[in-house]
Amino acid sequence: MPIDELTTGTATDALYLVADRSVRAHRNKPGQYLQLTLQDRTGTMKAMYWDVPATVADTVKPGAVYQIRGKVENYMDDLQIRVTGIKPPTESVDWSRFLPESARSAEELTSEFDGWVAKISDPHYRGLVEALRRHPQLWPRYLSAPAATMIHHAYLRGLIEHSLNLCRLCDRLAELYPEINRDLLLAGAIFHDVGKVYEYDSGPTFRRTDYGELVGHLAIGDQVVVQLAEQVEGITREKVWHLRHLVVSHHGQLDYGSPVLPKTLEGLLLHSAANIAAQVGTFRQTADKTPNGEPWSDRVFSMDHRRLFVGAPDSSTDESAESG
Protein backbone atom coordinates (compact mmCIF):
# COMPACT_ATOMS: atom_id res chain seq x y z
CA MET A 1 0.00 0.00 0.00
CA PRO A 2 1.42 3.47 -0.86
CA ILE A 3 2.70 5.45 2.12
CA ASP A 4 0.28 8.32 1.55
CA GLU A 5 -2.64 5.89 1.99
CA LEU A 6 -1.46 4.48 5.33
CA THR A 7 -3.55 5.44 8.37
CA THR A 8 -3.59 4.45 12.04
CA GLY A 9 -4.35 0.75 12.42
CA THR A 10 -3.56 -0.16 8.80
CA ALA A 11 -1.72 -3.45 8.33
CA THR A 12 0.85 -3.38 5.56
CA ASP A 13 2.96 -5.98 3.79
CA ALA A 14 4.54 -4.17 0.89
CA LEU A 15 7.79 -3.09 -0.76
CA TYR A 16 9.38 0.09 0.58
CA LEU A 17 12.73 1.74 0.07
CA VAL A 18 14.82 2.09 3.23
CA ALA A 19 15.96 5.71 2.98
CA ASP A 20 17.72 5.64 6.35
CA ARG A 21 18.36 3.16 9.15
CA SER A 22 20.05 3.00 12.54
CA VAL A 23 20.45 0.22 15.08
CA ARG A 24 20.10 1.29 18.70
CA ALA A 25 20.34 -0.48 22.05
CA HIS A 26 17.36 -0.60 24.39
CA ARG A 27 17.85 1.59 27.44
CA ASN A 28 16.20 -0.58 30.06
CA LYS A 29 16.63 -4.11 28.78
CA PRO A 30 19.00 -6.22 26.71
CA GLY A 31 18.73 -6.22 22.96
CA GLN A 32 18.42 -3.67 20.20
CA TYR A 33 15.89 -2.09 17.90
CA LEU A 34 15.95 -0.89 14.31
CA GLN A 35 14.82 2.64 13.44
CA LEU A 36 13.96 3.17 9.78
CA THR A 37 12.80 5.83 7.39
CA LEU A 38 10.74 4.16 4.67
CA GLN A 39 10.02 5.77 1.33
CA ASP A 40 8.06 5.39 -1.85
CA ARG A 41 7.21 7.99 -4.48
CA THR A 42 4.21 9.18 -2.41
CA GLY A 43 6.18 10.09 0.71
CA THR A 44 8.17 8.87 3.72
CA MET A 45 7.28 7.34 7.08
CA LYS A 46 9.20 6.36 10.20
CA ALA A 47 9.23 2.70 11.20
CA MET A 48 10.40 0.87 14.31
CA TYR A 49 11.39 -2.79 14.56
CA TRP A 50 11.49 -3.47 18.29
CA ASP A 51 13.62 -6.42 19.48
CA VAL A 52 15.00 -6.88 16.01
CA PRO A 53 17.12 -10.03 15.58
CA ALA A 54 20.78 -9.20 15.05
CA THR A 55 20.81 -11.29 11.87
CA VAL A 56 18.12 -9.00 10.42
CA ALA A 57 19.54 -5.69 11.70
CA ASP A 58 22.93 -6.43 10.14
CA THR A 59 21.49 -7.12 6.70
CA VAL A 60 19.14 -4.12 6.28
CA LYS A 61 20.98 -1.38 4.37
CA PRO A 62 19.91 2.12 3.33
CA GLY A 63 19.23 2.55 -0.35
CA ALA A 64 17.74 -0.93 -0.74
CA VAL A 65 14.14 -2.11 -1.11
CA TYR A 66 12.62 -4.61 1.29
CA GLN A 67 9.31 -6.33 1.89
CA ILE A 68 8.08 -4.67 5.10
CA ARG A 69 5.36 -6.26 7.22
CA GLY A 70 3.82 -4.33 10.11
CA LYS A 71 1.05 -2.11 11.41
CA VAL A 72 0.67 1.68 11.44
CA GLU A 73 0.57 3.37 14.85
CA ASN A 74 0.08 6.93 16.02
CA TYR A 75 3.00 8.06 18.18
CA MET A 76 2.98 11.63 19.53
CA ASP A 77 0.65 12.73 16.70
CA ASP A 78 2.92 11.19 14.06
CA LEU A 79 2.31 8.01 12.12
CA GLN A 80 4.90 5.25 12.17
CA ILE A 81 4.99 1.57 11.31
CA ARG A 82 5.59 -1.03 14.02
CA VAL A 83 7.54 -3.57 11.97
CA THR A 84 7.11 -7.28 12.55
CA GLY A 85 9.07 -8.59 9.59
CA ILE A 86 11.60 -7.57 6.94
CA LYS A 87 12.87 -9.62 4.03
CA PRO A 88 14.43 -9.01 0.61
CA PRO A 89 12.04 -8.58 -2.34
CA THR A 90 11.11 -11.63 -4.35
CA GLU A 91 10.36 -9.57 -7.47
CA SER A 92 12.42 -7.22 -9.62
CA VAL A 93 12.49 -3.64 -8.33
CA ASP A 94 10.97 -0.79 -10.35
CA TRP A 95 12.87 2.17 -8.91
CA SER A 96 10.38 4.69 -10.28
CA ARG A 97 7.96 3.50 -7.57
CA PHE A 98 10.23 4.77 -4.81
CA LEU A 99 11.56 8.19 -5.84
CA PRO A 100 9.09 11.09 -5.87
CA GLU A 101 9.39 13.56 -8.73
CA SER A 102 8.12 16.99 -9.72
CA ALA A 103 4.80 17.18 -11.50
CA ARG A 104 6.61 19.34 -14.06
CA SER A 105 8.70 17.66 -16.75
CA ALA A 106 12.38 18.31 -17.31
CA GLU A 107 11.55 19.87 -20.68
CA GLU A 108 9.04 22.29 -19.17
CA LEU A 109 11.41 23.34 -16.38
CA THR A 110 14.31 23.77 -18.81
CA SER A 111 12.18 25.98 -21.06
CA GLU A 112 11.22 28.24 -18.16
CA PHE A 113 14.85 28.38 -16.99
CA ASP A 114 15.98 29.50 -20.45
CA GLY A 115 13.27 32.16 -20.39
CA TRP A 116 14.68 33.64 -17.17
CA VAL A 117 18.20 33.56 -18.59
CA ALA A 118 17.02 35.67 -21.52
CA LYS A 119 15.53 38.24 -19.10
CA ILE A 120 18.87 38.93 -17.39
CA SER A 121 20.20 42.00 -19.18
CA ASP A 122 23.55 42.32 -17.38
CA PRO A 123 26.00 40.43 -19.63
CA HIS A 124 28.13 39.21 -16.74
CA TYR A 125 25.36 37.82 -14.56
CA ARG A 126 23.74 36.33 -17.66
CA GLY A 127 27.12 34.86 -18.59
CA LEU A 128 27.37 33.18 -15.18
CA VAL A 129 23.93 31.60 -15.55
CA GLU A 130 24.73 30.51 -19.11
CA ALA A 131 27.94 28.87 -17.81
CA LEU A 132 25.77 26.82 -15.45
CA ARG A 133 23.36 25.96 -18.26
CA ARG A 134 26.05 24.61 -20.60
CA HIS A 135 28.17 22.82 -17.97
CA PRO A 136 28.23 19.12 -18.96
CA GLN A 137 28.24 17.76 -15.39
CA LEU A 138 26.69 20.55 -13.34
CA TRP A 139 23.56 21.22 -15.43
CA PRO A 140 22.19 17.64 -15.50
CA ARG A 141 22.55 17.48 -11.72
CA TYR A 142 20.92 20.91 -11.30
CA LEU A 143 18.02 19.74 -13.44
CA SER A 144 17.44 16.48 -11.54
CA ALA A 145 18.45 17.21 -7.92
CA PRO A 146 15.98 17.51 -5.04
CA ALA A 147 15.92 20.73 -3.04
CA ALA A 148 15.93 18.77 0.25
CA THR A 149 15.82 15.24 1.59
CA MET A 150 12.54 15.55 3.51
CA ILE A 151 11.40 19.15 4.03
CA HIS A 152 10.45 21.10 0.87
CA HIS A 153 10.70 20.14 -2.80
CA ALA A 154 12.12 16.80 -1.67
CA TYR A 155 11.71 15.12 -5.04
CA LEU A 156 13.47 14.77 -8.38
CA ARG A 157 13.72 18.16 -10.15
CA GLY A 158 12.80 19.84 -6.86
CA LEU A 159 15.87 22.09 -6.87
CA ILE A 160 15.18 23.71 -10.24
CA GLU A 161 11.44 23.95 -9.49
CA HIS A 162 12.20 25.74 -6.20
CA SER A 163 14.71 28.05 -7.90
CA LEU A 164 12.26 28.99 -10.65
CA ASN A 165 9.57 29.73 -8.07
CA LEU A 166 12.08 32.02 -6.42
CA CYS A 167 12.78 33.75 -9.76
CA ARG A 168 9.09 34.62 -10.01
CA LEU A 169 9.04 36.04 -6.48
CA CYS A 170 12.21 38.04 -7.05
CA ASP A 171 10.90 39.42 -10.33
CA ARG A 172 7.78 40.72 -8.52
CA LEU A 173 9.94 42.22 -5.78
CA ALA A 174 11.96 44.04 -8.42
CA GLU A 175 8.73 45.63 -9.66
CA LEU A 176 7.90 46.81 -6.12
CA TYR A 177 11.41 48.04 -5.35
CA PRO A 178 12.92 49.41 -8.57
CA GLU A 179 16.10 50.52 -6.77
CA ILE A 180 17.32 46.92 -6.42
CA ASN A 181 19.63 45.24 -8.91
CA ARG A 182 17.11 42.96 -10.61
CA ASP A 183 19.71 41.02 -12.62
CA LEU A 184 21.75 40.27 -9.50
CA LEU A 185 18.62 39.18 -7.65
CA LEU A 186 17.59 36.80 -10.44
CA ALA A 187 21.11 35.35 -10.60
CA GLY A 188 20.93 34.90 -6.83
CA ALA A 189 17.64 33.04 -7.14
CA ILE A 190 19.20 30.65 -9.64
CA PHE A 191 22.46 30.13 -7.73
CA HIS A 192 21.34 30.33 -4.10
CA ASP A 193 21.02 26.55 -3.66
CA VAL A 194 23.31 25.41 -6.47
CA GLY A 195 25.54 23.66 -3.92
CA LYS A 196 22.78 21.11 -3.39
CA VAL A 197 23.74 19.43 -6.65
CA TYR A 198 26.69 18.01 -4.71
CA GLU A 199 25.20 18.05 -1.21
CA TYR A 200 22.51 15.48 -2.05
CA ASP A 201 22.65 12.09 -3.69
CA SER A 202 19.63 11.67 -5.98
CA GLY A 203 19.54 7.91 -6.04
CA PRO A 204 18.58 5.41 -5.01
CA THR A 205 17.63 7.64 -2.04
CA PHE A 206 17.80 11.33 -1.22
CA ARG A 207 20.67 11.48 1.25
CA ARG A 208 23.47 13.89 2.07
CA THR A 209 26.76 12.95 0.49
CA ASP A 210 29.95 12.90 2.54
CA TYR A 211 30.92 16.13 0.76
CA GLY A 212 27.59 17.68 1.68
CA GLU A 213 27.85 16.65 5.32
CA LEU A 214 31.42 17.92 5.67
CA VAL A 215 31.11 21.19 3.73
CA GLY A 216 27.42 22.06 3.22
CA HIS A 217 25.66 23.56 0.23
CA LEU A 218 26.34 27.21 1.07
CA ALA A 219 30.12 26.75 0.93
CA ILE A 220 29.83 24.41 -2.06
CA GLY A 221 27.62 26.91 -3.90
CA ASP A 222 30.08 29.72 -3.18
CA GLN A 223 32.84 27.63 -4.74
CA VAL A 224 30.68 26.90 -7.80
CA VAL A 225 30.09 30.64 -8.37
CA VAL A 226 33.83 31.35 -8.13
CA GLN A 227 34.68 28.57 -10.57
CA LEU A 228 32.04 29.55 -13.14
CA ALA A 229 33.02 33.23 -12.90
CA GLU A 230 36.39 32.28 -14.37
CA GLN A 231 34.54 31.53 -17.63
CA VAL A 232 32.88 34.97 -17.81
CA GLU A 233 35.07 37.46 -19.65
CA GLY A 234 35.18 40.95 -18.13
CA ILE A 235 33.24 40.22 -14.95
CA THR A 236 34.46 42.37 -12.07
CA ARG A 237 35.43 40.99 -8.70
CA GLU A 238 32.78 43.23 -7.11
CA LYS A 239 30.00 41.57 -9.12
CA VAL A 240 31.27 38.17 -8.09
CA TRP A 241 31.42 39.30 -4.45
CA HIS A 242 27.80 40.44 -4.51
CA LEU A 243 26.53 37.20 -6.00
CA ARG A 244 28.61 35.17 -3.55
CA HIS A 245 27.10 37.24 -0.73
CA LEU A 246 23.60 36.23 -1.82
CA VAL A 247 24.60 32.55 -1.86
CA VAL A 248 26.26 32.46 1.57
CA SER A 249 23.82 34.78 3.38
CA HIS A 250 20.46 33.52 2.10
CA HIS A 251 19.74 31.39 5.20
CA GLY A 252 19.52 34.71 7.00
CA GLN A 253 20.85 33.62 10.41
CA LEU A 254 24.19 32.41 11.69
CA ASP A 255 22.41 29.62 13.59
CA TYR A 256 20.97 28.38 10.28
CA GLY A 257 24.37 28.02 8.64
CA SER A 258 24.96 31.37 6.95
CA PRO A 259 28.53 32.54 7.68
CA VAL A 260 27.38 36.14 7.23
CA LEU A 261 24.04 37.89 7.59
CA PRO A 262 22.39 39.60 4.60
CA LYS A 263 24.01 43.04 4.28
CA THR A 264 22.63 44.29 0.98
CA LEU A 265 19.09 45.03 -0.13
CA GLU A 266 19.27 42.17 -2.61
CA GLY A 267 20.51 39.89 0.18
CA LEU A 268 17.62 40.84 2.46
CA LEU A 269 15.04 40.31 -0.27
CA LEU A 270 16.50 37.00 -1.46
CA HIS A 271 16.53 35.61 2.08
CA SER A 272 12.90 36.59 2.64
CA ALA A 273 11.78 35.27 -0.75
CA ALA A 274 13.65 31.98 -0.30
CA ASN A 275 12.01 31.53 3.09
CA ILE A 276 8.56 32.13 1.58
CA ALA A 277 9.20 29.69 -1.26
CA ALA A 278 10.51 27.01 1.12
CA GLN A 279 7.64 27.35 3.61
CA VAL A 280 5.00 27.28 0.87
CA GLY A 281 6.69 24.19 -0.54
CA THR A 282 6.63 22.55 2.90
CA PHE A 283 2.96 23.43 3.33
CA ARG A 284 2.04 21.99 -0.06
CA GLN A 285 3.92 18.76 0.55
CA THR A 286 2.32 18.43 3.97
CA ALA A 287 -1.13 19.03 2.51
CA ASP A 288 -0.51 16.42 -0.19
CA LYS A 289 0.45 13.83 2.44
CA THR A 290 -2.54 14.57 4.69
CA PRO A 291 -5.46 12.14 4.14
CA ASN A 292 -8.39 13.57 2.19
CA GLY A 293 -10.98 15.11 4.46
CA GLU A 294 -8.53 15.73 7.30
CA PRO A 295 -8.30 19.50 7.96
CA TRP A 296 -5.19 19.23 10.16
CA SER A 297 -1.84 17.71 9.28
CA ASP A 298 0.47 15.70 11.49
CA ARG A 299 3.11 17.73 13.30
CA VAL A 300 5.74 19.16 10.95
CA PHE A 301 9.25 18.90 12.35
CA SER A 302 10.73 21.66 10.18
CA MET A 303 8.03 24.12 11.26
CA ASP A 304 8.50 23.93 15.03
CA HIS A 305 6.41 20.75 15.26
CA ARG A 306 3.27 22.67 14.33
CA ARG A 307 0.18 20.99 12.95
CA LEU A 308 -0.91 22.86 9.84
CA PHE A 309 -4.48 23.63 8.84
CA VAL A 310 -4.72 22.22 5.32
CA GLY A 311 -8.52 22.23 5.02
CA ALA A 312 -10.61 24.72 3.08
CA PRO A 313 -10.57 28.27 4.54
CA ASP A 314 -14.32 28.09 5.29
CA SER A 315 -14.23 24.66 6.95
CA SER A 316 -13.79 25.95 10.52
CA THR A 317 -16.41 24.68 12.96
CA ASP A 318 -19.19 26.85 14.37
CA GLU A 319 -17.69 26.29 17.80
CA SER A 320 -14.40 27.90 16.76
CA ALA A 321 -16.27 30.86 15.24
CA GLU A 322 -18.25 31.37 18.43
CA SER A 323 -15.13 31.19 20.59
CA GLY A 324 -13.59 34.00 18.52
The class of domain 3-97 in CATH terms is: mainly beta
Q: Quote the pLDDT of residue 63.
A: 84
87 Rama sector, left if φ>0, alpha if ψ -120 to 50, beta otherwise = beta
Band (pLDDT 50/70/90 cuts) for residue 121 is very high
For domain 106-283, give the CATH number: 1.10.3210
179-183, 228-232, 249-253, 279-283: least confidently modelled range: 279-283
Q: Where do the domains of the chain lie?
A: 3-97, 106-283, 290-323
pLDDT of amino acid 322? 46
Strands 78-87 and 207-208: unpaired
> Which stretches within 180-296 are classed as H helix?
182-191, 196-199, 210-215, 217-229, 237-249, 265-289
Segment 181-224, tens digit of pLDDT: 999 999 999 999 999 989 887 656 667 788 988 998 999 999 99
Mean pLDDT, the chain, rounded, equals 88
The structure's pTM equals 0.72
- Per-residue pLDDT tens digits for 156-165: 889 999 999 9
- Mean pLDDT over residues 308-315, rounded? 77
Q: In angstroms, rounded to a whole number, what is the distance separating the alpha carbons of residues 93 and 63? A: 12
Length of the chain (residues): 324
Q: Could you report the per-residue pLDDT of 238-280, keeping only the tens digit for each?
A: 999 999 999 999 998 888 778 999 999 999 999 999 888 888 8
